[in-house]
Structure 1
């Protein structure tokens, strides 16, 4: 388990190497380190894929630059964290059309902790634009940032309910600065892409830094 004092650099990758430190593959879904970036491509409709580091973290402060370079605006890309295994992890994603989401997968079951319907002018929209994403995890509390600004999450009052955001309102829930969730205590960190009705999403990730929190 990798840990350290707040602000201490625990891990950093500029992707000018690091071939043996990341999960790489080349099928319908591709994860490759090339041209100084970690590039993920997903050619399957309505599907998510990720690449993670070998190290495991509990508390951390992670930032990464992400840029969609191909595919539809209706996409998802961002950070996967506290990945225990392929059936248990969290994701924080934004999209090229200006939305963001926080989700949890436990025993293979996906729960939107904060729905993808939440939009924000903070997100740099369009293909080939860079968004800097940040996730801060301390115990069972999580905070999320896009381009240096903290974003709120739409958390349902019923912990077993799906997050619902409509007409600029968090339905049967609250917009909060901090997500509290204790389902997964530690795991690997990495990056993720998501397709919806169209495939062919390609996203490049760079300048990933993990600090102690």
Structure 2
């Protein structure tokens, strides 16, 4: 069976219509190309681009825990030369966003929610935009954190992948492996909205409004709520977080739950309940700053390389740049077990010292005490030295030795060591450390 031939006038009309349609499509395509070229941030938001990626997934884990050197620890640092021994990262509220940066490769960092203690159950949504650094990096909601290296994280990469991660016992484990998804906008300057609902053991993750994962956490623990970054083979990662919405549940007296609002647009840096701080190598010093009522510290890298027994010398020289609020201070930390349990020794800007224990058995060992050897105020340099000998501790300030301290038997001195700061208010504290020395010594023969 055949179709009858169309009249010539009909064929000409059809050919003209096809030509006009082709010309229209060509013009629209050309205009779209020009528009995208003039607005490059839109390129990665086009559905037909964002849903197709030739990128490989990011690595499973950063090389954050390399083998440690064998033998007694002896570290001396004057910060004059560039060093790979120290973390460099910053967390700021600037231009209406929560800006986080991480210079080191193979490392991670986080910004801490400063609300009501540890949380387990919450519903949190946040916009995340990578603005600089390698695409093979990771950023997202880091939660149920009991120690810097004990947490969960719902994250994505600018290459178009997401995963659910657990970090525990110096091991990175993908509970939900790196998975590509067309809902993810890819590339630098592409914004993605992550949402995580943590309800007891049930975890549900969303990206740009689409549910992408469900997972049952067999050990739903309380912990810190944070936003996190991870680098792999390259550093220089910068991510902006913004437009936080959601709520968390707090355990109230009698077993009831109270709701805590999490909304934050970072329009007022002084009121945003998220930690700010940073660590940078500059001007022949290691400059640390922190704002809010927060303790912050840095330890020599790789992690664990500053771990000593209970006989050691630990000292540092530092200058307070700004931060005179009562309750703030700067100094040394030691006896750290890696889970927020350590001993801190602070120089107070008002001319005193304080020795305290942080952790489950927290308390003052030496309450804030005026010490004539301490140089008061900002712009002055103080030298702080600790000598540990088993249960005995000697503190030396600017060459003046204080009376020896005999510690109770339940307080150990062994563990990781480092530099410590405490901020007392929103104005924060900024300190430049110019010397650091750690020397492990042999204990008495058994």
TM-score, normalised by the number of residues in structure 1:
0.71
Partner residue of 1:63 out of 125, 130, 137 = 125
User: C-alpha root-mean-square deviation of aligned residues, in Å?
Assistant: 1.7
Alpha-carbon separation, structure 2, partners of 1:199 and 1:106:
23
Gaps of 5+ in 1: 1-26, 153-177
Say whether 1:98 aligns with 2:160.
yes
Partner residue of 2:134 out of 60, 72, 78 = 72
SS for the counterpart of 2:114 is strand
Aligned to 1:115: 177
SS for the counterpart of 2:185 is coil
Deviation digits for residues 35-92 of structure 1 (CA, Å, limit 9, x no counterpart): 1111111111121111111232221100000000001211111110111221321001
Partner residue of 1:191 out of 217, 222, 227 = 227
Conserved? CA contact 1:89–1:184, under 8 Å:
no
- Structure 1 residue 212: Cα displacement: 4.3
Say whether 1:150 aligns with 2:232.
no
Conserved? CA contact 2:164–2:177, under 8 Å:
yes
Partner residue of 2:143 out of 75, 81, 95 = 81
Alpha-carbon separation, structure 2, partners of 1:38 and 1:58:
23
Alpha-carbon separation, structure 1, partners of 2:248 and 2:232:
34
Conserved? CA contact 1:84–1:184, under 8 Å:
no
Alpha-carbon separation, structure 2, partners of 1:106 and 1:74:
22
Alpha-carbon separation, structure 1, partners of 2:220 and 2:204:
15
Alpha-carbon separation, structure 2, partners of 1:142 and 1:82:
12
SS for the counterpart of 1:122 is coil
Alpha-carbon separation, structure 2, partners of 1:88 and 1:210:
24
Partner residue of 2:217 out of 177, 181, 202 = 181
SS for the counterpart of 2:113 is strand
Runs of 4+, deviation exceeding 3 Å: none
TM-score, normalised by the number of residues in structure 2:
0.35
Aligned to 1:163: none
Larger relative contact order (Cα-Cα within 8 Å, sequence gap ≥ 6): 1
- Structure 1 residue 151: Cα displacement: 0.3
Say whether 1:43 aligns with 2:103.
yes
Conserved? CA contact 1:79–1:191, under 8 Å:
yes
Q: Which has the higher helix share?
A: 2
Number of aligned residues? 162
Gaps of 5+ in 2: 1-86, 250-446
- Structure 1 residue 33: Cα displacement: 1.3
